[in-house]
Amino acid sequence: MLLDLHTHSVASDDSRATVEQYVKWVNVLRRKGKSIDGFVLTEHRQFDHDVDYTSLASDDGIIILKGAELDTDTGHFLVYGISEEITDELDFSDVNMSAQNLVDICDTYGGIAIPAHPGRAGIGFAEYLDSGVTGFETIKSVERLNGSNRPGEGEKAESLIKAKGYLGTGGSDAHIVSAIGICMTSFDKEIKNESDLVQELRNGRFTAVRLES
Amino acid sequence: MKKNLYFEDVEIGDDIGPIKRSVTDEDVIEFVSVREKEITPSRFTSNEVANREGMPEAIVPGPMNIALMSQILTDWSDTVCLLKIDVVFRQTVPHNIDLTFSGIVTDKDETGDSTKLECDVVMENSDGVKLVIGTGVIALPNKP
């Protein structure tokens, strides 16, 4: 099962794609013979428990899940399996939130936090580890493939993965419609909801993939 | 470049461009001089001022980038009517570098009620880094 684990809709201030447009584009990709089963919306610094894409998703047989991309003191993190407890404990708009606390809160309340584009300068996890930041023993995965990576960022992510023995996810980091699905994560098991996603990410039964050409 | 496209000619997923070009110092001065008869050195026209403001070199003005992004759509066909463009500046755009502008048709009103098309547009540098991204809405005429 192929899911794009990193996408932004117009709910994020720097995106110009609606969720409905993403769904249409996934169908375009499918008509072209590409495989993509769904995507996770990871809006910047926010999470809306009330927004529900069930109807939109089921109409087209596309899995649409919700997560977030948060700014922390150790770079950007993708967060999945966000519960009421997690949003009660953390201020998602805090651009300097403690990443270690984020990881710990997610571990406690059924979510999972994964460093996004870890090779990126300024906002990537690798740079912070290089500068001597320690801890984060429970992190087992980072974003290996990011569709918006700049030259050198993928290589830096690979070095980190090799050095730490991490697993790697994939996501497009789409901010416009046609970018969705460029990078994805292939799961061995079917994912139907956020709980399944967290379970499979924790179990490590996945690989990062690029959209086949 | 194909000219005189009609709504019926276009499918979702059709590529627009790419067009390769660079923006020279002279291009920027010409653009800025439309508003300023006597150009004051700024981050757009002077490397020195740009350096003082923390940038490595002079940059292309935002409105000029928007104009360039619009051009990828309006140059696609003489029949294009640009209705809307909305861009996101991901990185500053330096002068005198190779730029690639491209677009793709992402949606088409197939109900017959309108001849509008939605498109993604992207400006990349030679490393494939997206400097400016955006979306445009254009209209094409129906076939006579």
Residue A177 has pLDDT above 90, yes or no: yes
Domains of chain A, each with CATH number or no CATH: 2-210 (3.20.20.140)
Sheet holding B81-89, edge to edge: B15-21, B99-108, B116-125, B130-139, B81-89
Q: What are phi and psi of A90, to 5 degrees?
A: -125, 145
In chain B, pLDDT over 90 holds for what percent of residues? 87
Residue B107 has pLDDT above 90, yes or no: yes
| Residue ranges of domains in chain B | 7-23+60-139
Mean pLDDT of B133-137: 97
* DSSP string computed for A98-154: -HHHHHHHHHHTT-EEEESSTTSTTT-HHHHHHTT----TT--EEEEEETTPPTTHH
pLDDT at residue A117, rounded to an integer: 98
pLDDT at residue A133, rounded to an integer: 95
* B:77-96 residues touching chain A, CB 8 A cutoff: 86, 88, 90
Quick check: B106 and A150 CB within 8 A? no
Per-residue model confidence as pLDDT tens digits over B18-48:
999 999 999 999 999 998 888 899 999 999 9
Mean pLDDT of A76-105: 98
B75 and chain A in contact, CB less than 8 A: no
* DSSP string computed for B3-68: -S--GGG--TT-EEEEEEE---HHHHHHHHHTT-SSPPP-TTT-HHHHHHTT-SS-B--HHHHHHH
A19 and chain B in contact, CB less than 8 A: no
Distance from CA of B137 to the nearest CA of A (A): 12
Mean pLDDT of A6-32: 95
Residue A210 has pLDDT above 80, yes or no: yes
Closest-CA residue in chain B for A24? B107
* DSSP string computed for A70-103: EEEBTEEEEEES--HHHHHH--TT-TTB-HHHHH
pLDDT at residue A213, rounded to an integer: 65
In chain A, pLDDT over 70 holds for what percent of residues? 100
B135 and chain A in contact, CB less than 8 A: yes
Quick check: A176 and B128 CB within 8 A? no
| Topology of the domain comprising B7-23+60-139 | Thiol Ester Dehydrase; Chain A (3.10.129)
pLDDT at residue B1, rounded to an integer: 55
B127 → closest Cβ in A148, A151, A178: A151
Mean pLDDT of A141-166: 97
Structure tokens at B19: 């067009």
